[in-house]
Amino acid sequence: MEKPNIYITRKIADELLKPYKEKFNFRIWSSENRPVPRETLLEEVKRADGLLCMLTEKVDDNILQHAPWLKIVANLAVGYDNIDVHAATKRNIIVTNTPDVLTETTADLAFALLLATARRLVEANHFIQNDQWEHWSPFLLAGADVHHQTIGIVGMGRIGEAVARRANGFGMSILYHNRSRKRDVEEDLQATYTSFDELWSKSDFVVSLFPLPEETEPLFNASTFGQMKSSAIFINVSRGQTVDGNALFKALQRGDIAAAGLDVFKNEPIASDHPLMQLENIVCLPHIGSASVATRKKMIDLCLRNLEYHFAGHDVLTPVK
């Protein structure tokens, strides 16, 4: 029996593929940093039995029409809004993602971004780099306390729960809003379920872990920021599409909220001359939420195991429902 042909849309270290080379024939895009061109992807899927792709690849109906042998798409991410799951299902193509293995790492990043923004760490680093540090003074680059403040978590999934556990360690009061109430989380993590309006108005830190909504209007808009405390800090590590970037810029510029920390943007990548990058009260990161070496290796291995399980005739480990 011929080995299945697997196309991988980004260069991956050979050591990670080695355990699977006896099972699959791999074809791999040559770059680790640049996405595969769409015309190349269209050509490669014509002979692929399986596809291991990144969030940067739009696997839509047109791509699937060019893939007569494709049986499974393994997406290297928790989110899968880059894939037309409905079109895949119509063609009996399985779609998988990588939940769980990145939960704690992404929560680490969310809390690191919260701390860095609150304590103005990037500003402080630039202060020294620009030779501005001449004397010590009591309120030099004074930021906001994190301990014993109120955190509002929007989206209490696995990552939200992990952020809440970290907040407990800082003695924070935890508010949350979720599509469904989670009483076990309330008991285990001393979290309080609130309406959106109450969360906006009472939180010192608002952390967005909300999945991409079906609504066209971004959840975080001028009205949302207008309801927050002027001392509030906004953190987004979920989806850039949930935020009205222009409204956030104006809110930060006018002082409607104190600061923001972002790991995701509606259109990525952003450039150094992006309006948000001109503000001092924001920390911007290049979508590195799960980017620890150990976690990225686990994500890749989970994709490969999903491919292995499927072609061995077993149920995949993490199917997209």
Beta bridge partners of 96: 74, 319
pLDDT of residue 215: 58
CATH of domain 103-284: 3.40.50.720
Q: Residue written as tokens 């014993």?
A: 148
Residues in a beta bridge with 259: 233
How much of the chain is helix, strand and coil, in % rounded to 5?
A: 40, 15, 45
List the catalytic residues. Answer: 239, 268, 287
Nearest Cα to 175, choosing from 213, 219, 148, 206?
A: 206
Tell me how far apart the alpha carbons of residues 58 and 84 are, in angstroms, rounded to a whole number. Answer: 8
From first to last of its 321 residues, what are the pLDDT tens digits of the chain?
699 999 999 999 999 999 999 999 999 999 999 999 999 999 999 999 999 999 999 999 999 999 999 999 999 999 999 999 999 999 999 999 999 999 999 999 999 999 999 999 999 999 999 999 999 999 999 999 999 999 999 999 999 999 999 999 999 999 999 999 999 999 999 999 999 999 999 999 999 998 766 655 799 999 999 999 999 999 999 999 999 999 999 999 999 999 999 999 999 999 999 999 999 999 999 999 999 999 999 999 999 999 999 999 999 999 997
Give Dmax over CA atoms of the chain in angstroms.
74
> The whole model's pTM is what?
0.94
> What pLDDT score was predicted for residue 321?
79
Amino acid (1-letter code) at residue 39: E
Burial bucket for residue 25 (CB in 10 Å: 0-12, 13-18, 19+): middle
CATH 3.40.50.720 domain span(s) along the chain: 5-100+293-311, 103-284
**CA–CA dist 12, 30 (Å, integer):** 9
**Any idea which fold 5-100+293-311 has?**
Rossmann fold (3.40.50)
Q: How many CA atoms lie within 13 A of 251 on its CB side?
A: 27
